[in-house]
Amino acid sequence: MSLPRLRIKKREQQRLRDGHLWVYSNEIETPVTPLKAIAGNLVHLEDYRGQFIATASFNAQSLICARVLSPEEITTLNQAFFSQKIQAALSLRETMFQQPYYRLVFGEGDFLPGIVIDRFNDILVVQISTQAIEQAKPELVAALQEIFGQSTKILFKNDGKGRHIEQLPEYTEHVGPAFDEIQLVENGVQFIAPVDGQKTGWFFDHRDGRQWLNGRVNGKSVLDVFSYIGGWGIQAAKHGASQVTCVDASQKAIDQIGINAKLNGLDNVQTVCADAFDYLKAELKTQDSHRYDVIVLDPPALIQKRRDFEQGRQAYFVLNEHALNRINDGGIFISASCSLHMTSEELLKIVQQVARRQNKQVQLIHQARPAADHPRLLSMPEADYLKCFMFKVTSI
């Protein structure tokens, strides 16, 4: 069995030779290998001379039309293919983490574009975002059961935006006994998360940032904005914060914060179900407004597409401006962004601008990055999506 060939333009192939895993549709020699003429969702990439480069997933409808899966000339994604990749990913995590709570597979970072897997002990939550991986789902399941055992519970939570691009339907599916919540431990703090919540139920990428903050909150008041189920706030409360306020627009998330506070024996966590923009905008002179020693601003991605940059930038500007206005002199301000199109330089520029408007100085004292369960290929700077800056704020 042979796969369709996809020829890369001469001036574009070096990026793949250097280890990049994406091919854009405008990088294809379409007169030689027309995109619309290719059937199937696996292709062999070739250079301008017709020499093999790599095996890749394929979708003619996507701007990123091909994603490299193997440097070898394979023709199918079988159980052995997935087993080798997942075992390598598992070995990395087991050397870095003492407990089985982490992102097991991080797409391109683990040479498996189209797959994200989060591990919660004996539960695996899987998200698939490409047609090629979706078609090979039985082989993926077999590999996971081979590595983790037949009793491992697997949830396919296939509802990500990437599936729309790949023209894949959204669905959730249990392999093994069904469950409606997951349990985990992060930085010594216990959590219960609903599986019908955001993403896979948890955000492991902020683990190190939370750990940094945990050592600096003793006796301080903390505001956790866009709190979800309390990843930042509950940990701060457990590590000695005098009072924690968690703000989220989802009542279900707010209710879960109460559950997680009780789980950890905490009575210093207050919750507010409100739109973050409205809550932060409230005038400081109103009775319901407060200042805080620590403010965590961790919004969802506010810039989904490059063409939405200006509108999204304004949203980040407003949020940071109102948050900075709520912080006590000498306090810690954490500003984060998971928007790929919001660069580190631009976010720092926004914080500096809003600080000067308020006659404040901000000192950058730490930058948190995802831990080893989010490995990034140096050949793919695009994967460096998460920005998380810690500042000390003082009045001039």
Contact 197, 361 (CB under 8 A): no
Q: Which residues contact 138 (CB under 8 A, 6 or more apart)?
A: none
Tokens, residue 101: 């709570």
- Please tell me which residue, 285 or 136, carries the higher pLDDT value: 136
Mean pLDDT (the chain) is 94
pTM of the model: 0.94
Contact 330, 200 (CB under 8 A): no
Mean pLDDT along residues 128-139: 96
Tokens, residue 27: 């990088």
Domains belonging to the chain, first-starting first, are: 5-70 (2.30.130.10), 79-179 (3.30.750.80), 190-395 (3.40.50.150)
The confidence score (pLDDT) of residue 1 equals: 64
- Please tell me which residue, 77 or 285, carries the higher pLDDT value: 77
The confidence score (pLDDT) of residue 161 equals: 73
Contact 124, 149 (CB under 8 A): no
Residues in the chain: 396
**162 has pLDDT over 80:** no
Residue 93: count of CB within 10 angstroms of its CB:
20
| Burial call 63-85: b when 16+ CB within 10 Å, e when fewer | ebbbbbbeeeebeebebebbbeb
Contact 378, 18 (CB under 8 A): no
Looking at residue 7, its amino acid is R
Mean pLDDT along residues 86-94: 98
Element (H, E) at 310: helix 309-324
DSSP letter for each residue of 234-255: HHHHHTT-SEEEEEES-HHHHH
The confidence score (pLDDT) of residue 101 equals: 98
- Measured CA to CA, the distance from residue 369 to residue 385 in angstroms comes to 10
Strand partners, 327: 292
